[in-house]
Chain A
C-alpha cells in the first residue's frame, strides 16, 4: 500500500517513529480526556477517566506538566454564558481531578471582561482552589481597558519588565510571556512593539538551540483570520528570533477555540475559553460570543494540558473540554 506523501516522517527527533505532524494527528483523534506523555522517547497515552492507569504515569523528575487556561472573561453575563464563575470552577475541578498534578497554570489572558477590580479578585480566588503552586499570566485586551494596562501591571507585573513581558525557566524549559494587546493601531492586529521585540532578541540570544522554548501571549502570533483581528502585526520578527531553536511551542488564547499549526520546529496552539465559545473564522458576521444550547456549552469550553520530558524534543499538548 502506497504511503500518502503527507504521512512520511520528516523529522524523527526522538527516534520513536513519530514526528511532530504524526504526533498532532494522533492527538486530533484522541478526542477529549486523553493525555499523552512522551517518556523515554515512547509516546504513551492515558485516559483522564482512568486514574489508576494514570497514577502509574505520574510526572517524574525531569518531566514538566502544566496547564494552559484562557479567556475566563470574569464579569461577562450575557446569553452565551450567564455564569462564567461556574464554568471556571468546572475547569478547576478538572485540573484537580487529573492524577498528574500540574506544576503551574498559564493563563493566556482576558482574565476579566471589563478590567474591573472585582473581576480580577474573583479569578484570583477561584484559581486558588486549583492544585497548582502558581499561576502565570499575560493580559488580554479585556484586561487593559481604560488605563493602558496600569491596573493589570500593578496586579500581575511584579517581576516583569515595565511593559509586562517576562521570562522564566523551569526544569530546563525557557518560558516567555509576551504582551501584544497594548498600543494597538487603527486597522491593525495585535502588536508586540519595537521595545518588546528588542527585549526578546536579547532574552534568547545566549540560549543553546536545544533549549525548549514556550512562548505565551494572548492574541495569536500567527495569522489565523485578520478580518477578525486574529493575528499579530509584528509577530514574524519575534518568530525570526526563535527559528534556530529545536523546539518552540507558542500558546495563545483570544479566539475561544482550539487551533494548531506546525511550522518547522514551531508548534502554534490556541486554547478554548472557560467562559464562552466563538464562531469558526468567517462562520458568523463577527467573532462575538456565540450562543449555543445550554447542554452544549461546556463541551465547547475547556483547558489544555502540556507535558514536557527533559531531553526529549516534543511537548505533548492535549486539549480537554469541560464536559
Chain B
C-alpha cells in the first residue's frame, strides 16, 4: 500500500511539475505548444513566412510581424478571409481563427511568398 501511495505521489508530483513547467513557459508570442486560446507568431523575414505552415487549435490568434526592409501583406489565396493592411518594417497583423480549416495565404506584393495556417 505504502509503495503504491509513494508511486502515486511521485507520479502526481511529476505530473504537477510538468503542468507547472508548461504554464511557466507559456508566453503570448512564440509559443510552440498547442494551448487552446493561445497566441502564435509568424515571422516575415527574407521574403518568406516562418513557419511556412502553422498548425493551431480553433480560437487561436496568429500574429504576423514583418522583419524585412520592404513592406509585405497577408492575403488569402482563395476567398477573402485574410486581407491585412500593408505592413512596413516591424508592423504587425493579427487574426483570430475561430473556424477549423486550411487557410492558404500569400503576400499580395510578392506573390511567390506563400504560407498556410491549418486550424484544427
User: Contacts A146-B86, A286-B47, A288-B46 known; A229 to B110 CB distance under 8 Å?
Assistant: yes
Stretch at the interface among A49-57, A89-97, A182-190, A309-317: A182-190
Q: Is the CB of A287 within 8 A of B47?
A: yes
Q: Is the CB of B112 within 8 A of A79?
A: no
Stretch at the interface among B11-19, B34-42, B63-71: B63-71
Closest Cβ neighbor of A80 among chain B residues: B69
Residues A217-231 near B (CB distance < 8 A)? 226-229
Measured CA separation A12–B16 after assembly (Å): 85
Closest Cβ neighbor of B77 among chain A residues: A186
- Counting CB contacts under 8 A, is B33 at the interface? no
User: Contacts A114-B71, A187-B106 known; A227 to B112 CB distance under 8 Å?
Assistant: yes
In the complex, chain A residues whose CB is within 8 Å of the CB of B88 = 114
Contact with B along A175-211 (1 / 0, CB 8 A): 0000000001111110000000000000000000000
Q: Is the CB of B112 within 8 A of A288?
A: no
In the complex, chain A residues whose CB is within 8 Å of the CB of B70 = 288-289
- Counting CB contacts under 8 A, is A298 at the interface? no
Measured CA separation A185–B110 after assembly (Å): 10
In the complex, chain B residues whose CB is within 8 Å of the CB of A25 = none
In the complex, chain A residues whose CB is within 8 Å of the CB of B75 = 186
Q: Is the CB of A145 within 8 A of B47?
A: no
- Counting CB contacts under 8 A, is B111 at the interface? yes
In the complex, chain B residues whose CB is within 8 Å of the CB of A186 = 75, 77, 104-106, 111, 114
Residues B45-90 near A (CB distance < 8 A)? 46-48, 68-71, 73, 75, 77, 85-86, 88-89
Q: Is the CB of B69 within 8 A of A189?
A: no
Interface residues on B, range: 20 to 34
| Residue from the list B68, B86, B114 in contact with A288, Cβ < 8 A | B68
Contact with B along A139-170 (1 / 0, CB 8 A): 00110011000000000000000000000000
Nearest-neighbour CB distance to chain B for A301, whole angstroms, equals 16
- Counting CB contacts under 8 A, is A78 at the interface? yes
- Counting CB contacts under 8 A, is A282 at the interface? no
In the complex, chain A residues whose CB is within 8 Å of the CB of B104 = 186
Number of A-B residue pairs at CB separation under 8 A: 59
Q: Is the interface of B mostly helix, strand, loop or mixed?
A: loop
User: Contacts A79-B69, A114-B88 known; A285 to B111 CB distance under 8 Å?
Assistant: no
Q: Is the CB of B86 within 8 A of A78?
A: no
Q: Is the CB of B86 within 8 A of A145?
A: yes
| Most interface-central of B68, B71, B75, B77 (chain A CB within 10 A) | B71
Q: Is the CB of B85 within 8 A of A146?
A: yes
In the complex, chain B residues whose CB is within 8 Å of the CB of A115 = 86
In the complex, chain A residues whose CB is within 8 Å of the CB of B110 = 141, 229
Residues A240-298 near B (CB distance < 8 A)? 285-289
Q: Is the CB of A145 within 8 A of B71?
A: yes
Contact with B along A7-29 (1 / 0, CB 8 A): 00000000000000000000000
- Counting CB contacts under 8 A, is B109 at the interface? yes
Closest Cβ neighbor of B84 among chain A residues: A146
| Most interface-central of A188, A285, A286 (chain B CB within 10 A) | A286
Measured CA separation A189–B69 after assembly (Å): 20
Q: Is the CB of A286 within 8 A of B48?
A: yes
Q: Is the CB of B47 within 8 A of A188?
A: no
18 A-B residue pairs with Cβ-Cβ distance under 8 Å, sorted by A, are A78-B89, A80-B69, A114-B88, A145-B71, A145-B86, A186-B104, A187-B77, A187-B106, A187-B114, A188-B111, A189-B111, A189-B112, A228-B47, A286-B46, A286-B68, A288-B46, A288-B47, A288-B69
Closest 6 A/B residue pairs (Cβ): A186-B106, A186-B77, A286-B46, A286-B47, A184-B111, A285-B46
